[in-house]
């Protein structure tokens, strides 16, 4: 176990990192303006002809009463760790905290476990995909565990119809209808025969919200919490703006870490594993911790959220497709999937396409049993990775049961493919370095020959050529070190040829330089004349 932990520290697992960061308090909201404090706003008016005119203005901020603010400090809100809460959690935590609810009173359920499912998975009457029906176990966890420790006032499980997306040119950013409707199904499951919420004095909230239209989202949240939390529209809107800042910080943090790993993989000719799945596959109870097995084998793990979406940074990977006009943009997937209305499915396809354009990435595709929105992507992703030769493993039809033996076989088989791919990258890098070394060595020799001819013809050395020779020698020595290191890594007994050749070239150049200086026609005379 100690050895596994040391390996895990050396090879990051961003799927695990993201699953923990999502529910932490990593963003401290700004202080809310005081009542009557002037704030910037946009005034909207209509002309006599009915045209809408918007203009900048300043107006006093409206706060709720001191009593309402004090009451909010004691309110506790429970949120189940299920479905699209896995990609919007920072928003909800920051929204509630900005309204004055204490950090400790924003309570999330525990990660999914087999024990949680056995204990709490007994309220449903239908059999959808496991990620949807396990939501009842999370609500059970909130009612029978979190509530028992300290009473909850609300269980908040929104029906999220649209989620944020960085992709361009998509038809829509909608969510799976099963996922969007599950909060209402859970409401029926826990209230139809016995109202488990009313028994405990808890109010269950399942409002419909959309992340594709920020202004509409503000209106939706104010309609829900205006009376329940006694907040003004200004307070709710301010909290919403703060929540978006938290989402931005989360995105920047993940992409910064992902970028660092990708650049390290490229520099070291190593292989990383990109997990593509739906947001809830970050839950270790739903992904069965498969990524951990690859991590301890020495492969860094990246999540889809960790891939940088900066177009300028991405252009180098899609350069050929952009120049030929095959794609309209680095974040566009219309050429492989025009029917891209489902946000999470479209993101899976884009992530697979990115991996296909990145030589240091392999792909692990996770999909849960009965996932209708994932089904259209199977053939698309398979075609992308087959065309690019990207190492690929698919774990589809994941369910509540963890087939340990089957997973172990799949991991071992795919690990062999990853090992072969890593060796191929190292071979290509070694040959590329050898070629650069040979070219640079030839360049030094030709420059030295040219310098010797000039010295014989004019009786003195050329200062510019001598500078080129010195720069080429430095480059040659650097390449020599790289070559030796790569050969040491590739074989037990490295060949000393490259090091010896570089040393010979360097020594020859030094001897020629010394000869020129002794004759009085060397580089020093040129420098003195220049001065």
Name the E strands within 48-202. 52-60, 77-79, 106-108, 154-156, 159-162
Q: Is residue 271 part of a domain?
A: yes
Q: Which of 424, 446, 481 lies at the terminal end of a domain, its last residue?
A: 424
- Considering the domain architecture, whether residues 258 and 188 belong to the same structural domain is answered as no
Q: Is residue 493 part of a domain?
A: yes
Q: What is the pLDDT, as a whole number, of residue 242? A: 97
Question: pLDDT tier at 507 (50, 70, 90 boundaries)?
Answer: low
- Considering the domain architecture, whether residues 184 and 290 belong to the same structural domain is answered as no
Q: What string of H, E and C letters represents the secondary structure of 447-481? A: HHHHHHHHHHHHCCCCHHHHHHHHHHHHHHHHHHH
Q: Which of 424, 451, 481 lies at the terminal end of a domain, its last residue?
A: 424
pLDDT at 389 > cutoff 60: yes
55 CB burial (10 A radius; 0-12, 13-18, 19+): exposed
Q: In this structure, what CATH number is given to the domain that contains residue 68?
A: 3.40.50
Q: Is residue 25 part of a domain?
A: no
- Considering the domain architecture, whether residues 101 and 235 belong to the same structural domain is answered as yes
- Considering the domain architecture, whether residues 443 and 414 belong to the same structural domain is answered as no
284 closest CA partner among 77, 86, 144: 86
| pLDDT tens-digit readout, 176-213 | 999 999 999 999 999 988 999 999 999 999 999 999 99
Q: Is residue 22 part of a domain?
A: no
- Considering the domain architecture, whether residues 88 and 196 belong to the same structural domain is answered as yes
Q: What is the pLDDT, as a whole number, of residue 447? A: 87
Question: Token pair of 334, please?
Answer: 């219309």
Q: What is the pLDDT, as a whole number, of residue 496? A: 44
Tokens 């595709």, residue located: 365
Q: Is residue 47 part of a domain?
A: no
Quick check: 159 and 180 in contact, CB under 8 A? yes
221 closest CA partner among 197, 242, 201, 202: 242
89 closest CA partner among 188, 157, 173: 157
348 CB burial (10 A radius; 0-12, 13-18, 19+): buried
Q: Which of 402, 424, 446 lies at the terminal end of a domain, its last residue?
A: 424
pTM higher than the cut 0.85: no
Return phi, psi of residue 391, to 5°: -60, 135
Q: Is residue 68 part of a domain?
A: yes
Domain containing residue 448? 426-530
- Considering the domain architecture, whether residues 215 and 266 belong to the same structural domain is answered as no
Q: Is residue 49 part of a domain?
A: no
Instruction: Name which of 225-229, 300-304, 496-500 the model is least confident about.
Output: 496-500
What percent of the chain clears pLDDT 90, i.e. is strictly above it? Answer: 57
Give the 3-state secondary structure of residue 171: coil
pLDDT at 303 > cutoff 80: yes
| pLDDT tens-digit readout, 129-155 | 889 999 999 999 999 999 999 999 999
pLDDT at 42 > cutoff 50: yes
Question: pLDDT tier at 314 (50, 70, 90 boundaries)?
Answer: very high
Average pLDDT of the segment spanning 385-402: 87
pLDDT at 241 > cutoff 90: yes
Question: pLDDT tier at 491 (50, 70, 90 boundaries)?
Answer: low
Question: pLDDT tier at 526 (50, 70, 90 boundaries)?
Answer: very low
From residue 297, alpha-carbon distances to 31, 269, 361, 413, 434 in Å are: 46, 16, 15, 12, 29
- Considering the domain architecture, whether residues 75 and 223 belong to the same structural domain is answered as yes
- Considering the domain architecture, whether residues 83 and 116 belong to the same structural domain is answered as yes
From residue 5, alpha-carbon distances to 10, 11, 260, 284, 388 in Å are: 9, 10, 21, 17, 34
- Considering the domain architecture, whether residues 419 and 435 belong to the same structural domain is answered as no
- State how many domains the chain has: 3
pLDDT at 506 > cutoff 50: no
Q: Any bridge partners for residue 46, and if so which? A: 52
pLDDT at 519 > cutoff 70: no
pLDDT at 125 > cutoff 80: no
Q: Is residue 462 part of a domain?
A: yes
| pLDDT tens-digit readout, 269-295 | 889 999 999 999 999 999 988 888 899
Q: What is the pLDDT, as a whole number, of residue 45? A: 84
pLDDT at 431 > cutoff 90: no
H or E stretch at 526: helix 523-530
Instruction: Name which of 63-77, 158-172, 416-430, 495-509 the model is least confident about.
Output: 495-509
| Average pLDDT over all residues of the chain | 87
- Considering the domain architecture, whether residues 280 and 195 belong to the same structural domain is answered as no
Average pLDDT of the segment spanning 98-121: 94
What percent of the chain clears pLDDT 70, i.e. is strictly above it? Answer: 91
- Considering the domain architecture, whether residues 154 and 100 belong to the same structural domain is answered as yes
HSE-up of residue 512 (Cα within 13 Å, Cβ side): 22
| pLDDT tens-digit readout, 437-483 | 889 889 888 988 888 888 888 888 888 888 888 888 888 888 888 77
| pLDDT tens-digit readout, 319-333 | 988 988 888 999 999
- Considering the domain architecture, whether residues 241 and 165 belong to the same structural domain is answered as yes
Q: What is the pLDDT, as a whole number, of residue 57? A: 87
């Amino acid at each position: 176990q100690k050895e596994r932990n040391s390996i895990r520290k050396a090879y990051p697992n961003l799927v695990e990192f993201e699953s923990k960061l999502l529910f932490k308090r990593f963003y401290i909201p700004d202080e809310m303006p005081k009542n009557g404090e002037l704030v910037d706003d946009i005034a909207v008016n209509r002309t006599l002809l009915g045209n809408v005119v918007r203009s900048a203005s300043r107006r006093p901020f409206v706060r709720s009463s001191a009593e309402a603010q004090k009451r909010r400090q004691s309110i506790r809100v429970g949120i189940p760790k299920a479905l699209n809460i896995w990609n919007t959690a920072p928003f909800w935590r920051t929204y509630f905290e900005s309204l004055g609810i204490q950090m400790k009173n924003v309570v999330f359920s525990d990660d999914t476990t087999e024990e949680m499912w056995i204990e709490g998975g007994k309220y449903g009457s239908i059999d959808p995909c496991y990620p949807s029906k396990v939501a009842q176990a999370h609500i059970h966890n909130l009612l029978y565990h979190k509530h028992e420790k300290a009473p909850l006032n609300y269980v908040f499980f929104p029906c999220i119809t649209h989620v944020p997306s960085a992709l361009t040119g998509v038809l829509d950013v909608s969510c799976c209808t099963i996922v969007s409707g599950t909060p209402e199904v859970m409401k029926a499951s826990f209230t139809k025969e016995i109202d488990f919420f009313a028994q405990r004095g808890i109010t269950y909230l399942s409002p419909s919200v959309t992340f594709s239209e920020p202004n509409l989202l503000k209106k939706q949240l104010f309609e829900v919490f205006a009376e329940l939390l006694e907040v003004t529209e200004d307070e709710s809107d301010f909290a919403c703006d703060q929540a978006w800042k938290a989402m931005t910080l989360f995105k920047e943090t993940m992409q910064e870490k992902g970028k660092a790993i990708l650049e390290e993989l490229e520099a070291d000719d190593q292989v990383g594993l990109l997990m593509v799945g739906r947001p809830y596959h970050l839950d270790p109870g739903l992904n069965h911790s498969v990524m951990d097995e690859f991590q301890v084998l020495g492969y860094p793990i990246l999540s889809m959220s960790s891939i940088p979406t900066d177009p300028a940074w991405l252009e180098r990977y899609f350069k050929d497709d952009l120049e030929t006009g095959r794609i309209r943009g680095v974040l566009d997937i219309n050429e492989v999937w025009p029917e891209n209305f489902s946000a999470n499915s479209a993101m899976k396809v884009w992530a697979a396409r990115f991996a296909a354009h990145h030589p240091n990435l392999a792909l692990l595709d996770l999909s849960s049993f009965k996932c209708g929105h994932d089904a259209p992507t199977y053939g698309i992703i398979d075609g992308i990775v087959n065309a690019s030769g990207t190492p690929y493993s698919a774990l589809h039809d994941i369910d509540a049961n963890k087939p340990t033996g089957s997973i172990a076989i799949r991991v071992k088989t795919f690990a062999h493919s990853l090992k072969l791919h890593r060796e191929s990258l190292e071979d290509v890098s070694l040959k590329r370095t050898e070629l650069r070394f040979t070219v640079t060595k030839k360049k030094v020799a030709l420059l030295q020959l040219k310098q010797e001819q000039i010295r014989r013809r004019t009786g003195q050395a050329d200062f510019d050529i001598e500078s080129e020779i010195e720069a080429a020698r430095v480059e040659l020595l650097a390449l020599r070190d790289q070559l030796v290191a790569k050969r040491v890594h590739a074989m037990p007994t490295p060949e000393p040829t490259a090091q010896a050749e570089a040393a010979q070239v360097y020594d020859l150049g030094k001897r020629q330089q010394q000869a020129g200086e002794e004759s009085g026609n060397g580089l020093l005379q040129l420098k003195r004349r220049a001065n």
